[in-house]
A and B are shown apart, each in its own frame.
Chain A
Amino acid sequence: MEHKNKISDLQSHTGVEVMRCYQCGKCTAGCVLASDMNYPPSYLMRLLQTGTRQNMDKVLASNSIWLCLNCENCLGRCPMEIDIPKMMDYLRTQAISQNKLHPDSKPIIAFHRSFLDSVRNTGRLYEIGLVLSYKFRTFNFLQDLAIAPSMYLKGKLHLLPEMIKDRRSMKRIFAQTIENAKTLNK
């Protein structure tokens, strides 16, 4: 029974039918990061098919869902047209809300958060700001120090952020979406 519920649960949230997967492995064969993942895509689909809590936890705690680049090679080639990237999106939000995070996710989430902060505050991406706030999140100060100066010299970095006029709408959008969601999860 648990099995059934889990599956239908996944489907209602993503519209993805994991039971369609017959484990041909074509997704894994074409995945550029499969070899770096705890579980390559097809293996991950199989874990989901079992529908057991242990395996679901395995998936959420794995680095696979964070290493997935959503390049959609898998979807493009899947004979059963299973939208694995969409499933990955869902699994990531689940992993965050259940706070089951693989260490590999830390820098990635940190980057995304820094990115979004910048967008929230300025309406656009403020690259120096992004890199700085990312570094404070990850305490990885040395990274990219090498290229930053030459980026600046080549005019690829602005010291001051570009701001959009209607920043209030940005605040509103964030407040009603991601921040709202956070409070819900708490």
Chain B
Amino acid sequence: MKIGFYPGCSLTGSSREYNESVVALAKALDIELVEIKDWNCCGATAAHVMNEELSLSLPARIMAMAEEQGLTEVVVPCAACYNRLKVTQHELEDENKRTRVIEILKQPYKGDLKIINVLQMLEAYGAENIKTRVTHPFAHKVACYYGCLLVRPHSILKFDRVEDPQSMDILIKGIGGTTLDWAFKTECCGAGFSVSRTDLVAKLSGNILKDAADRSAEAVIVACPLCQSNLDMRRGAINKTLENPIDIPVIYITQAIGLALGIGAKELGLKRHFVTVEL
């Protein structure tokens, strides 16, 4: 299995453990990841908030580069990037917008690229196939946290179901884990406010962690670097808002599966987390 790969900025920086685990897992599953050449930032929330044309042009360039490279399918582990790329693709179905963006890019853009997130890649690979490779069953009770960007807007992303999604839970069950039915699967963690409004992030992420803790989750499983850094890196700020601090780790789905397949903690970047991971 060979597939295009767009890491996105956070995976090369503050969330490189996500990148490491994705790469390690892909290797273990014999999936060849072909990185998009000279890729740029998708613009994330900033571009989206500040200027529409910019918010379309940046992702458009990424996809144009991929098309140029002859890729047909690209996996985007970062939920934020995934969302921006999918939405841009949808917006650019509009003739006028597309022509405008193409004249900005000075580069052809077809818009027929298949953009998928990590869960979809693993789904395509098959929970069953993964099961057969499990050496260290992931015998933990965890809360799968999807956040906003993976499932909304449903009309465009068409991924899983918008309330109480299941795809991550299925994968976890596949590797021997048990998943919680909890309340905050798709509530927002504060996403883009990580730096600018840490107070709000602490509040929102606090609610999420609290519910997971109340239901005695051993870990929170995520597929989005923004969620992860808010729930993990901001844990200090979060715990300040809570009566009793919470110490449950926040790990990526790729790390969880990696562990089950017997990949080393270091290789999966588990050492890079703020909240120590002992699973």
Minimum C-beta distance from B53 to chain A (A): 4
Identify A119's interface contact among B14, B43, B193, B197, CB under 8 A: B43
Chain B residues with Cβ below 8 Å from A156 are 13-16, 233, 272
Interface assignment of B218: CB less than 8 Å from any CB of chain A: no
A164 to B36, CA, bound (A): 12
Residue of A nearest to B58 (CB): A173
Interface assignment of B216: CB less than 8 Å from any CB of chain A: no
A143 to B43, CA, bound (A): 24
A75 to B106, CA, bound (A): 34
Also in contact, A76 and B54, with CB within 8 A (given A156-B14, A172-B104): no
Minimum C-beta distance from B108 to chain A (A): 13
Chain B residues with Cβ below 8 Å from A69 are 148, 188, 190-193
Interface assignment of B123: CB less than 8 Å from any CB of chain A: no
Chief secondary structure at chain A's binding surface? helix
| Count of A-B contacts judged by CB separation below 8 Å | 158
Chain A residues with Cβ below 8 Å from B49 are 70, 89, 92, 108, 112
For A92, A119, A173, A178, the residue with the greatest tally of chain B CB atoms inside 10 Å of its CB is A173
Q: In which size bucket is the chain B interface?
A: 35 or more
Q: Type the 1/0 row for B149-167, where 1 means its CB is closer than 8 Å to any CB of A.
A: 0001110000000110000
Also in contact, A72 and B153, with CB within 8 A (given A33-B200, A89-B48, A125-B9): yes
Q: Type the 1/0 row for B177-199, where 1 means its CB is closer than 8 Å to any CB of A.
A: 00000000011101111011110
A18 to B58, CA, bound (A): 30
Chain B residues with Cβ below 8 Å from A154 are 271-274
The answer to whether B104 touches A176 (Cβ under 8 A) is yes
